[in-house]
Structure 1
Amino acid sequence: MSDLEVRQLRYFVAVAEELHFGRAADRLGMAQPPLSRAIRTLERHLDVRLLERTTRRVELTPAGEALLRDARTALDAVAAADRRARNAGRPAPSLRLALKADYDAGLLPLILAAYQPHEAALPVELTLGGRGDQDPALRDGRADVAILPAPFDRHGLDSEPLLTEPRLVAMAAGDPLAARASLRLADLAGRSLPDGTFADMEGRPSGREGAGMSPPRGARSWDLAQIFNLVELGDIIWFLPVSLARRYPRPGIAYRTVADLAPSELHIAWPRDCRSRPVAAFVDAAMTVAAASFPRIDGRPRMTG
């Protein structure tokens, strides 16, 4: 049996995700009849039925569900290989670093300074994004290495912790709770975080770990200034790393400790099985800088409050 073609997988994924041949054809920019023929050809090729079709609906068979999972992975791998090869083949290749602006605990300038003298170093190209954009960029080939806060999807990645630091709560300076030097999560019951979850549910199954560091739902383009403005107005509170709070002192915002709030972990991550010398040099520089910049507790760099 001959190998599957990328085109066949792309056609199948579109139909499997839309569960509608017309919508899938529109998504692919093609007519519906040739798409239907392509799916029938793929089923004959595999000698299995992938889709159950009626006049009213399209459904995946067990074989179709299995192929969809693997097809997505295969297409992601092909796209990543394409992007990495194009970057490596450029006249002036770069090391593409994914991160969220200001989520580097102040380490980035020191890391870059430690990395550049290495014989394998390449010019560093920053790939900035919102919270949660860094690990997908590593998997799909848009980035070679990432500095990112936990938690993140570790599938297909290797990583090392750089720093653990306390988180604080940011609230309006006029908030009655701001009169207290230290709080507990229970004191924040009913207060909303930027993503709409309740502050006292932080870290629980019904909440999202690290929710306060995530962009608001439906508003991933919100920047720090917008979030700070909402905090100043008393509309929300926000959990953020102490290093970020130190960068943004604002008279309208009070930063307070929360005794039972989990700390923030900053990691460096790269694609699993990566054999790039520039990536290895960057990881080594990052870990060396983190270890030299902060005392080590329990085997890892840790910032005190």
Structure 2
Amino acid sequence: MELRELRYFVALAEELHFGKAAERLGISQPPLSRAIARLERRLGVTLLERTSRKVTLTGPGAVLLSEARTILGAVAAAERRTQQAAQRRPRLVLAVKSGTGGELLAELLDAYREEPGAATVDLLLCEGRQPQESVKNGEADVALLHLPFDSTVGLDTETLSTEGQVAVLPASHSLAGRSRVRAAEVAALAELPMARWPGPDGSYPEGPGAEVQNLTQLFQMVALGRTTVILPESAGTDLRRDLVAVPVLDAPPVTTVIGWPSQSRLRAVADLVRVATCL
């Protein structure tokens, strides 16, 4: 398999539309169609089912999509790290979800900055996607992840902290004055259905709650009385005045971990992880 074929396949598997995939790749549709057909003949399997109305992934196609993302990520990471090796001061890319990390992230960056020979840390703020995917595809060297929400498959991790969860409600809501609530009470609020986040493929699960991609959108929709959400305590700090965070008594704890590729041998990553675990 050629890298070009894998790039073409990933674009089509993610877009599930030949026209959109071709536009994303900057090519016309015929070369894309020929490349996918050639790849299927070489592998001896059907990767995508095509009809006049839609394109869908087959089982083998889903396997190749996962493998191809890993391969292309490794190539991108190798290119970036090779280029960085020529720089006088190394650089690290740390992926975090927008609006998360809070004081822990600030403390980590401050402490690491004091390390002898510390690398320059560039933050990659992820919206509508998961930080672990940025590490796997080579965009980032390390990520702050939150269990049980984020996957750590293929990554090494160290635990940094554990916290409870809160329900974010309009300040005018009847539950806003409570010292604590239960998860079932929040889930039963017909007037405030739970917010919906996009999955890895960008699609949203079915439901009445508002579709959101980041905390700014989320808090705006909660303030308007359209949705609610249960989040880690740290994400509920410094809320706008028209919102209230109420502890959820029976919500499972959220554990923040720092994760990096299992095959990583970067000294800067090891130093950042060491500093993080000493906070």
Per the TM superposition, whether the score is higher than 0.5 is yes
Determine if the alignment matches structure 1 residue 183 to structure 2 residue 181.
yes
Match of 1:211 in 2: none
| Equivalent residues of 1:84, 1:141 under 8 A apart | no
Query: What is the SS of the residue equivalent to 2:127?
Result: coil
Larger radius of gyration: 1
Counterpart selection for 2:77 from 76, 80, 84: 80
For residue 63 of structure 1, report the CA deviation from its aligned partner.
Answer: 6.8
Counterpart selection for 1:106 from 103, 121, 126: 103
Query: What is the SS of the residue equivalent to 2:160?
Result: strand
Matches within 5 A, 1:2-13: 4-13=1-10
| Equivalent residues of 2:73, 2:139 under 8 A apart | no
Q: Deviations over 1:63-118 (max 9, x none)?
A: 76765553343233323322333334445431111113442241223222322233
For residue 235 of structure 1, report the CA deviation from its aligned partner.
Answer: 2.7
Match of 1:159 in 2: 157
Determine if the alignment matches structure 1 residue 284 to structure 2 residue 251.
no
Match of 1:239 in 2: 230
Partner Cα distance (2:88, 2:31) in 1 = 40
Query: What is the SS of the residue equivalent to 2:76?
Result: helix
Partner Cα distance (2:37, 2:89) in 1 = 45
- Calculate the TM-score normalised by the size of structure 2: 0.75
Q: Deviations over 1:215-251 (max 9, x none)?
A: 953x42x443x43343334332232332333433x54
Structure 1: state its 5+ residue gaps: 198-206, 209-214, 290-305
Query: What is the SS of the residue equivalent to 1:266?
Result: strand
Rate the CA distance shift 1:106–1:231 in 2: closer, same or farther, 3 A: same
Rate the CA distance shift 1:165–1:9 in 2: closer, same or farther, 3 A: closer
Partner Cα distance (1:236, 1:54) in 2 = 37
For residue 41 of structure 1, report the CA deviation from its aligned partner.
Answer: 5.6
- Same amino acid, percent of matched pairs: 40
Matches within 5 A, 1:7-156: 7-13=4-10, 28-31=25-28, 38=35, 46=42, 48=44, 50=46, 67=64, 69-130=66-127, 132-150=129-147, 151-156=149-154
Counterpart selection for 1:268 from 253, 258, 271: 258
Q: Deviations over 1:139-194 (max 9, x none)?
A: 11111111132221223211122111111222222222234322212222133233
Query: What is the SS of the residue equivalent to 1:85?
Result: helix
| Equivalent residues of 1:103, 1:148 under 8 A apart | no
| Equivalent residues of 1:103, 1:149 under 8 A apart | no
| Equivalent residues of 2:69, 2:137 under 8 A apart | no
Match of 1:230 in 2: 221
For residue 17 of structure 1, report the CA deviation from its aligned partner.
Answer: 6.6
Figure out how many residues of one structure are paired with residues of the other and give that number. 266
Match of 1:252 in 2: 242
- Calculate the TM-score normalised by the size of structure 1: 0.69
Rate the CA distance shift 1:83–1:187 in 2: closer, same or farther, 3 A: same
Match of 1:302 in 2: none
Structure 2: state its 5+ residue gaps: 199-204
RMSD of equivalent CA atoms: 3.8
For residue 51 of structure 1, report the CA deviation from its aligned partner.
Answer: 6.7
Query: What is the SS of the residue equivalent to 1:193?
Result: coil
Query: What is the SS of the residue equivalent to 2:278?
Result: helix
Partner Cα distance (2:45, 2:180) in 1 = 62
Partner Cα distance (1:172, 1:18) in 2 = 37
Q: Deviations over 1:263-284 (max 9, x none)?
A: 2221111111111111111011
